[in-house]
C-alpha cells in the first residue's frame, strides 16, 4: 500500500478537494478525512443550497480578525469573480440572491461536491475517508501522519485545513489546534461564531415563527444601541436566530472587546473554568447581565400569534428580551480564532516549519455572516494549492 505522497491534506470538504485541484497534477496527493463520506459540511452549507460566496465583498465591513488586512492581497490572488469563473468553466450556474448572496442555481449542494470530487481525482489525488488523523509530526525532511487505524503516511508537504470546533457533529473537533501547537504555532482563543442567542424569556410558544422587525441591541451599561438592523428574526424554542442574530452577535462581540472588563471579570468565579474557556465564560456572563434585545414590530406585518404572545397593540409595539446565553458550540456555524496568519508566508506556509500549510476556517480570519466564510476558504485553498 502506498504510504508516501508528495502532499497530504487533512480533510475532504471543499478545502482538501479545492486545494488538490489547484495544485500541480504531477504531485501525488493524499486526502485524509475522518468522516465516512467526503464533504459532509458542503452538503449542509446554505441550507443545502450552498451559498458559495457573495458578489459584494468589503474586507473591513465583512470580515473579522486581527490579520484581516491580509485579505486585501489574498483577494487580489483569488476572489468571488474567480470562484464564479471556476464554476462557470465547469458548468455550474450561480445565481445572485438578496444582499449579494451567490447560490447554486440548482439549489443542490451535491452538484458542487460531485464536481470537486471528480476534478480532484482527475488531478492525481487519492481520497481516503474513515481515516481520522490522530497525530502529525515532522521527522527530518518528511511529515508523518498517523491515522486511527495505526497507518503511518509520510509526505514532503502537509496541508492542515481541519476547520474549527464549532458544529462538531460534522467532524470538526479541535484536532488542528493540537497539531498547530505541536508545530509551535500561536493559538488565538477560539470563539463560537455565527451563533444563535438564548433569551431569558421562553419563546417556545411562537417557535419557528419568523417576523420582519427592527432589532436594536442595547447595552445595559450605556443604555445606548450597539447595533440596529431591519430584517427577519426567527423565534425558536428559547432562542432567537436568523442572519440578523448572526450579525448582532458579531456586534455584541465587537462591543465587549471595546470595553475595559477588569472590574466585571474580577467578580467572576473561574474556579471551575478551564483556561482555554475563560474568554468564552466572560462573554457569556457579560451578555447575561449587560445586553438586551429591543424588538420593534410593525403590527400589520406580524402573525397574530406573535401579537397575542407579546400582547402588542397600537400603543405597544416594542418588547425587550434579556439574554441568557449563546447557543452551544455544536450549533455555532463557524469558529473564529486559531492560527495567526502573521506566522505564515504569503503562500500560507508555516514560517516555523517549511512544507506545512494552513487554510480555511483554522486561520484567524472569519466572515461576519456565513456567506463570506466559504469565499475566504476558496481563496486560502487556492493560494495553498498554487504554492505547493
Ligand atoms: C451548517 C453550516 C452551513 C454553512 N453554510 C455556509 C454557506 O452557505 N456559505 C458559507 O460561506 N459558509 C457556510 N458555512 C461555513 C463554512 O462551511 C465553513 O467556514 C467552511 O466549511 C470552512 O471550511 P474548512 O475547510 O476550513 O473546515 P471545515 O469545513 O470545518 O472542515 C473540517 C473537516 O476536517 C475534517 N477533520 C477534522 N479533524 C480531522 C481529523 N483528525 N482527521 C481527518 N479529518 C478531520 C472534518 O471531518 C471536516 O470534514 C456553513 C457552516 C455550517 C456548519
Instruction: Report pLDDT digits (tens) over 101-144.
Output: 999 999 888 999 899 889 988 999 999 999 999 999 998 999 99
Q: Categorize the per-residue pLDDT at 279 as very low, low, confident or very high, splitting at 50, 70 and 90.
A: confident
Q: In the chain, which ranges are E strands?
A: 4-10, 29-32, 51-54, 63-64, 94-96, 101-104, 125-128, 133-139, 142-147, 152-160, 187-193, 197-199, 209-219, 225-236, 239-241, 291-297, 318-326, 334-339, 356-358, 366-367
| 101 beta partners | 54
Q: Categorize the per-residue pLDDT at 158 as very low, low, confident or very high, splitting at 50, 70 and 90.
A: very high
- pLDDT computed for residue 241 by the predictor: 87
Mean per-residue pLDDT, 335-348: 88
- pLDDT computed for residue 287 by the predictor: 93
Closest C-alpha to 182, from 248, 137, 123 = 137
- For the chain, counts of helices (H) and of strands (E): 12, 20
Separation of CA 293 and ligand 1 centre (Å): 30
Mean per-residue pLDDT, 340-357: 94
3-state helix, strand, coil in the chain (%, to 5): 35, 30, 35
The predicted model scores a pTM of: 0.89
Residue 54 CA to residue 79 CA, distance in Å, equals 10
Strands 4-10 and 29-32: parallel
DSSP secondary structure of 243-275:
HHHHHHHHHHHHHHTTS--HHHHHTS--TT--G
Separation of CA 163 and ligand 1 centre (Å): 6
- pLDDT computed for residue 164 by the predictor: 86
Give the number of residues written for the chain.
Answer: 388
Q: Which residues line ligand 1 (CB under 6 A)?
A: 10-11, 13, 15, 32-35, 40-41, 44-46, 50-51, 132-133, 161-164, 167, 170-173, 175, 333-334, 360-362, 370-371, 373-374, 377
Q: Name the strand (E) or helix (H) holding 335.
A: strand 334-339
- The minimum-distance atom of ligand 1 relative to the CA of 45 is 5
Could you tell me the domains of the chain?
4-191+336-386 (3.50.50.60), 196-327 (no CATH)
Residue located via cell numbers 462591543: 255
* R_g of the chain computed on alpha carbons: 22
- The minimum-distance atom of ligand 1 relative to the CA of 335 is 19
Task: Report which protein residue has its CA nearest ligand 1's atom 37.
Answer: 162
Task: Report which protein residue has its CA nearest ligand 1's atom 30.
Answer: 163
Mean per-residue pLDDT, 198-217: 91
Cell of 366: 472569519
Q: Say if CB 153 and CB 30 are below 8 A apart.
A: yes
Examine the pLDDT at 198 and tell me if it is beyond 60: yes
Amino acid at each position: 500500500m502506498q504510504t508516501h505522497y508528495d502532499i497530504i491534506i487533512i480533510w475532504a470538504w471543499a478545502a482538501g478537494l479545492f486545494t488538490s485541484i489547484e495544485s500541480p497534477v504531477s504531485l501525488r496527493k493524499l486526502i485524509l478525512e475522518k468522516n465516512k463520506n467526503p464533504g459532509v459540511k458542503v452538503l449542509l452549507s446554505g441550507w443545502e443550497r450552498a451559498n458559495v460566496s457573495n458578489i459584494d465583498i468589503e474586507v473591513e465591513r465583512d470580515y473579522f480578525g486581527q490579520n484581516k488586512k491580509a485579505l486585501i492581497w489574498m483577494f487580489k490572488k483569488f476572489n468571488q469573480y474567480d470562484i464564479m469563473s471556476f464554476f462557470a468553466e465547469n458548468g455550474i450556474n450561480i445565481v445572485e440572491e438578496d444582499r449579494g448572496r451567490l447560490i447554486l442555481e440548482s439549489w443542490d449542494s451535491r452538484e458542487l461536491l460531485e464536481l470537486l470530487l471528480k476534478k480532484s481525482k482527475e488531478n492525481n489525488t487519492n481520497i481516503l475517508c474513515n481515516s481520522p488523523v490522530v497525530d502529525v509530526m515532522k521527522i527530518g525532511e518528511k511529515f508523518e501522519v498517523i491515522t486511527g487505524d495505526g497507518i503511518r503516511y509520510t509526505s514532503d508537504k502537509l496541508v492542515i485545513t481541519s476547520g474549527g470546533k464549532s458544529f462538531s457533529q460534522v467532524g470538526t473537533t479541535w484536532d488542528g489546534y493540537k497539531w498547530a501547537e505541536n508545530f509551535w504555532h500561536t493559538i488565538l482563543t477560539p470563539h463560537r461564531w455565527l451563533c444563535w442567542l438564548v433569551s431569558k424569556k421562553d419563546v417556545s410558544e411562537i417557535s419557528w415563527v419568523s417576523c420582519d422587525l427592527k432589532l436594536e441591541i442595547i447595552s445595559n451599561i450605556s443604555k445606548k444601541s450597539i447595533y440596529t438592523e431591519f430584517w427577519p428574526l426567527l423565534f425558536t424554542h428559547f432562542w432567537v436566530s436568523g442572519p440578523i442574530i448572526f450579525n448582532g452577535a458579531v456586534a455584541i462581540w465587537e462591543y465587549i472587546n471595546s470595553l475595559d472588563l477588569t472590574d466585571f471579570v474580577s467578580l467572576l468565579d473561574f474556579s471551575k473554568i478551564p483556561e482555554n474557556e475563560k474568554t468564552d465564560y466572560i462573554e457569556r456572563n457579560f451578555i447575561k447581565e449587560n445586553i438586551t434585545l429591543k424588538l420593534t414590530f410593525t403590527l400589520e406585518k406580524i402573525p397574530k400569534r406573535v401579537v397575542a404572545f407579546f400582547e402588542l397593540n397600537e400603543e405597544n409595539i416594542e418588547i425587550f428580551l434579556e439574554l441568557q446565553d449563546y447557543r452551544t458550540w455544536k450549533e455555532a456555524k463557524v469558529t473564529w480564532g486559531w492560527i495567526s496568519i502573521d506566522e505564515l508566508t504569503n503562500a500560507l506556509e508555516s514560517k516555523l516549519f517549511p512544507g506545512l500549510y494552513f487554510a480555511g476556517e483554522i486561520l484567524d480570519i472569519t466572515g461576519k455572516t456565513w456567506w463570506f466564510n466559504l469565499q475566504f476558504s476558496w481563496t486560502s485553498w487556492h493560494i495553498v494549492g498554487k504554492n505547493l
